[in-house]
Structure 1
Amino acid sequence: MSLLVKICGLSTRETLDVALGAGADMVGFVFFPPSPRHLSLETARELGKQAKGRATKVALTVDADDATLSNIVETLQPDLLQLHGKETIARLRDVKARFGLPVMKVIAVETSADLAALPGFADVADRILFDARAPKGATRPGGLGAVFDWQLLSKLDLKLPYMVSGGLNPDNVAEAIRVTRAGGVDVSSGVERSPGHKDPEMILKFIRAARATEELMVR
């Protein structure tokens, strides 16, 4: 299976077009007001139309209620819901049943103990995304540029597709893929010139670096 590359936190037509043109498999849109990448529904509608049929549209939410999710689903028409908060296994099951969309659950990682809940979530989720655990007092759970110890995933035995994120950038994505053997990589702050402002050239460099590593691992 080929490596999936996700560019998350896109917020302008220009940077979305760069990501799509460079061959991103997934494009992520953030719906979480504390984030500098938060989108209005109006902007999401336009970007969703731009991405339709060109990449998997991912809606990132954090402990969102049903009303919020309903508005997002109706407006963006995402292909995948990314639940990035403290959602329980029961909540995942409910969201899947209610909205009829596949769900990617984010697991925050700092130590091996953080992987204890993985089997339960893997029974319900369609995909897992491993991200660095946010420090205490952080206003948001991700997009902070923090890296976790990838060796924690080096012996992971998970049948479910999984991706890795957390502090990835064009310079370290190759090592992340090599160590974790993840089927996908997800970047946000690592391709930004400042929080919430994507850099087109960094997006291109990240996707090229990920694809080059994929080719080497296939050989």
Structure 2
Amino acid sequence: MQVKVKICGLTRTEDMQACAATGVHWVGLVFHPASPRFVTPEQAARLHNAIPTADKGGPLRVGLFVKPTFEQVAATLNQVPLDILQLYTDEKTALTLKHQTNKKVWLARGVARTEDLPSDTSFDGYIIEAPSQKGDTRPGGLGRTFNWTLTEHWHAPAPWLLAGGLTPDNVAQAVRVSKTRAVDVSSGVEERPGIKSALLIEKFIKNSQKGACVHQE
């Protein structure tokens, strides 16, 4: 079983190119101004143009939005042909945006207990990560892990990615324990916020597959 990898929070063309060269399945662009990895639609368009499109062997483009309006998403899509929308919002808004944009939608969900795991089959995928905590200024894993055993026996309603606090050093264990088939990383492969390391990306991908090998034994 191959574990698919998403690298999120890309801000530089050289990092996009490193992702494409190493066979990353998805690249994530953050359209949330509060994030240190925020890019404008204009910047995202330049990043998009730096690598082959998915139909030519490049990674799929994922756009991360936090409580967006249709107008914001539509304006972004007008400049960047995103393949997937990763949304931090409620289910009703996410479903409306899915229908309005005719794009695949991944819904992000923080998980502290098994009851938090989603069961709605309306979406194309889920990002499963640590729940938000008091004082957080933005959503997301924020470099925090959670109890990976919570997903071990989960019958997911859609494909999902494990996120939050993943690094080259812990991703093999995360894959082995959680039984995920896809992982999402941002800060874990960075030199500093928004600046990725090609060496860490390569190591992360390699180690993610080590966890998958245990599934097959």
- Is TM-score (shorter-chain normalized) higher than 0.5? yes
Corresponding residue for residue 139 of structure 2: 141
Secondary structure in structure 1 of the residue aligned to 2:78: helix
Asked if 1 retains the 8 angstrom alpha-carbon contact of 2:130 and 2:141, the reply is: no
> Hey, what's the Cα distance between the residues in 2 that align with 1:109 and 1:216?
24
Corresponding residue for residue 75 of structure 2: 71
Corresponding residue for residue 36 of structure 2: 36
> How much is the aligned-residue C-alpha RMSD, in angstroms?
1.5
Deviation for aligned residue 1:143? 4.9
Corresponding residue for residue 14 of structure 1: 14
> Hey, what's the Cα distance between the residues in 1 that align with 2:141 and 2:199?
19
Secondary structure in structure 1 of the residue aligned to 2:106: strand
The within-5 A match list for 1:184-195 is: 184-195=182-193
Bigger Cα displacement from structure 2, 162-171 vs 127-136: 127-136
Deviation for aligned residue 1:7? 0.4
Relative to structure 1, the CA distance from residue 142 to residue 23 in structure 2 (aligned partners, 3 Å threshold; closer, same or farther) is same
Aligned residues: 213
Amino acid at match of 2:205: I
Could you list the per-position Cα deviations for residues 36-91 of structure 1 after superposition, in whole angstroms to 9, with x for gaps in the alignment?
A: 000011110111122423011000011011111011112111110000x2x22221
> Hey, what's the Cα distance between the residues in 1 that align with 2:82 and 2:26?
11
Corresponding residue for residue 103 of structure 1: 105
Corresponding residue for residue 181 of structure 1: 179
TM-score normalized with structure 2 length: 0.92
TM-score normalized with structure 1 length: 0.92
Deviation for aligned residue 1:149? 0.7
Deviation for aligned residue 1:111? 2.8
Bigger Cα displacement from structure 2, 174-183 vs 206-215: 206-215
> Hey, what's the Cα distance between the residues in 1 that align with 2:199 and 2:41?
27
Secondary structure in structure 2 of the residue aligned to 1:75: coil
Secondary structure in structure 1 of the residue aligned to 2:161: strand
> Hey, what's the Cα distance between the residues in 2 that align with 1:215 and 1:110?
27
Relative to structure 1, the CA distance from residue 194 to residue 153 in structure 2 (aligned partners, 3 Å threshold; closer, same or farther) is same
Deviation for aligned residue 1:187? 0.2
Q: Percent identity?
A: 34
Corresponding residue for residue 154 of structure 1: 152
> Hey, what's the Cα distance between the residues in 2 that align with 1:143 and 1:151?
17
Corresponding residue for residue 122 of structure 2: 124
The within-5 A match list for 1:192-207 is: 192-207=190-205
Displaced runs of 4+ in structure 1, greater than 6 A?
none
> Hey, what's the Cα distance between the residues in 2 that align with 1:4 and 1:142?
19
Task: Report whether the alignment pairs 1:61 with 2:65.
Answer: yes
Corresponding residue for residue 5 of structure 1: 5
> Hey, what's the Cα distance between the residues in 2 that align with 1:73 and 1:127?
19
Task: Give 5+ residue unaligned stretches, structure 2.
Answer: none
> Hey, what's the Cα distance between the residues in 1 that align with 2:111 and 2:66?
16
Deviation for aligned residue 1:216? 4.6
> Hey, what's the Cα distance between the residues in 1 that align with 2:122 and 2:78?
23
> Hey, what's the Cα distance between the residues in 1 that align with 2:80 and 2:121?
27
Amino acid at match of 2:148: W
